[in-house]
Amino acid sequence: MIGPVFILDMSSLIRKLLKIHRILGLVLAVNFLILGLTGVVLVWRHELAPVQAVEQRTSFISEKSSLSKIENFISTKYEGKKVLSIFKGDDGDINARVTEPGIEKFKGATRLKFDMAGNAIDKEFVKSQTSNKVIDFILKLHRELLLGGKGKILIGLMGLFFLIALISGALISNKFYRNIRNMNSRILLGRFHKIIGVKTCAWLLIVTFTGTILAFNSTLIGLFLRDNVRAQQENARVIENATYVSVLDIYDELKEKLPHLEYDFISFPDNEFSVPNHFVILMENEEHHHEIAYVDAITGSLIRTVSLPWYLELLILSEPLHFGDYGGVILKVIWSILGLVISFIPISGIYIFLFRKRLLSSTSKMYDGSTLNDVNISLNEIVLPSAFIFIIFIVSSDYNWPLSGLFLIYLGISWKDILSFTLRLKDKVVRKEVS
């Protein structure tokens, strides 16, 4: 008879947490697996498909030249149309939105795409970039489950439930699979499930939290921008049939007054994200600090700037923390290893649940449990990995490599027991097959 796997007199709270963890884990298991595996690929996205081959060939061309070509293209090909915005995309390109005169909404606008040199990208060129196409597909699957903007919201909501599943799992982990001498397949999988969950808990919490806010960041920034713009719209002086300066004049003004910032999003006058007779530009610097600039569209003069609130700046800073691309190759290797390891968590959870009755009835003397030291959630398991992750993020890039190397060594020492047990288990299986 199998000995008790967990304490029989669990409190009501533990039982409820177990139920929450089990339900959320099963519901989110497939998505958890998809996000983990696609995330591993995206850690190396710049190496696998350098951001737009066109951008690499034309990186010497200035932003002003790029904007000039885009403006000329739109005025020629879309004469008489109203330009809503020009902005930098997530895939190393530049996007524009044009619509009919008199329309203020972005919904339904024509979407145009350009490379960083300002050349229009046609569909045939995009199709010819096989590596970029694959990475773009994986990015869209990871970011929005191929569902567009609604998919990002869905990913964000799933991220919130992931956090609940992780926290509930951490709270109940110390009650399970303790002091086991003999294990069957179910208990072995459960123990691995627990130990991997404990060892990756800090990393999972950081990656899940940053992924969740990344899913909402464009929505929240858009809402802030819209609310801020609306406050300006109420006090704006409307001049009918005014003649506006060129976007190049706006660029020159911003370069003169705000040389430390680059444009990220340019909203043209008279739409839902701008003020009458004003350009509204979202600017950023290399440290990802953002400001909103208001420029008079008639005179081309900078009127005022507004900094994003700290919580929105925090949202924007979450991207490097999520993808682990701020600490060099070693940190990317760590992110990849952890991303692959956590794929065992949903797989083992599903397997244990689906075959629980069969595995419960199997013999309990298949594996020696004493050779796999138990691991419980503790402050050290949370604080030490988190400290490495945030210190590497904060310090100068000159120290990223050695700190990432120390982080990798720490993980090797921390995981030595489970690695040793896995190797012994593999040798045992091989010897059994040979005999």
Would you state the pLDDT for residue 360?
54
d(CA 201, CA 33): 16
Residue boundaries of the structural domains of the chain? 12-49+134-198+323-434, 58-125+240-297
Would you state the pLDDT for residue 332?
92
Mean of pLDDT values over 322-342: 91
What percentage of the chain exceeds 70 in pLDDT? Answer: 79
Would you state the pLDDT for residue 104?
85
Give the pLDDT band (50/70/90) at residue 242: confident
Least confident of 91-95, 276-280, 320-324: 91-95
pTM score: 0.77
b/e map of 319-339 (b: 16 or more CB within 10 Å)? bebbbbbbbbebbbbbbbebb
d(CA 31, CA 343): 11
Extract the tokens encoding 383: 């604080």
Would you state the pLDDT for residue 236?
63
Would you state the pLDDT for residue 326?
83
Mean of pLDDT values over 364-388: 72
Choose between 310 and 164: higher pLDDT. 164
Q: What share of the chain is helix, strand, coil (3-state, %, to 5)?
A: 60, 10, 25
Choose between 317 and 159: higher pLDDT. 159
Extract the tokens encoding 323: 């993808």
Would you state the pLDDT for residue 60?
44
Mean of pLDDT values over 54-82: 77
Please say whether the beta carbons of 152 and 35 come within 8 A. Answer: no
pLDDT above 80 for 381: yes
Q: Which residue has the tokens 């083992």?
A: 348
Give the pLDDT band (50/70/90) at residue 161: very high
Would you state the pLDDT for residue 364?
52
- Of the candidates 210, 221, 222, 202, the one whose C-alpha atom is nearest the C-alpha of residue 159 is 210
Mean pLDDT of the chain, nearest integer: 81
Residue 32, CB half-sphere, CA atoms under 13 Å: how many? 24
